[in-house]
Amino acid sequence: QVQLVESGGGLVQAGGSLRLSCAASGRTFSRVTMAWFRQAPGKERAFVAAIDWSGGLTWYADSVKGRFTISRDNAKNAVYLQMSSLKPEDTDVYYCAASPRSTIEAGPYDYWGQGTQVTVSS
């Protein structure tokens, strides 16, 4: 069992930066792939970034490559998403998720946080 709580969202101007954090509880945190997804009202949840259990492998959506960086600290049971050069189209609710599989598909992610709102103004 893994419980996830996101923080760090907010309002930022285009070109600015934000760092999202996801605090996890559960003894199996270090064994799961962690990911960030985002979702706008009326749209499907979209993959943003993922990191494997060791932190050695990462995956990014094409739309965020070079701007976002995912990282994790297994000692702190935490995963982060550093977002830079933010654009208005990055405005969404961002969700942290955990899966025993390394995948960019939302289906295999068994555990989800409640989400944190990111709003980028133009």
- When pLDDT is averaged across residues 11-37 and rounded to a whole number, the result is 92
Is the pLDDT assigned to residue 2 strictly greater than 90?
Answer: no
Q: Which two tokens stand for residue 43?
A: 């749209």
Q: Which two tokens stand for residue 28?
A: 């199996």
- Please write the tens of the pLDDT for every residue from 45-84: 999 999 999 999 999 999 999 999 999 999 999 999 999 9
Is the pLDDT assigned to residue 30 strictly greater than 80?
Answer: no
Q: Give the model's pLDDT for residue 17.
A: 98
Q: Give the model's pLDDT for residue 38.
A: 98
Please give the Cα distance from 56 to 78 (Å, whole number): 15
- The dihedral formed by the CA atoms of 62, 86, 118 and 71, expressed in degrees to the nearest 10: 60
Please give the Cα distance from 30 to 40 (Å, whole number): 29
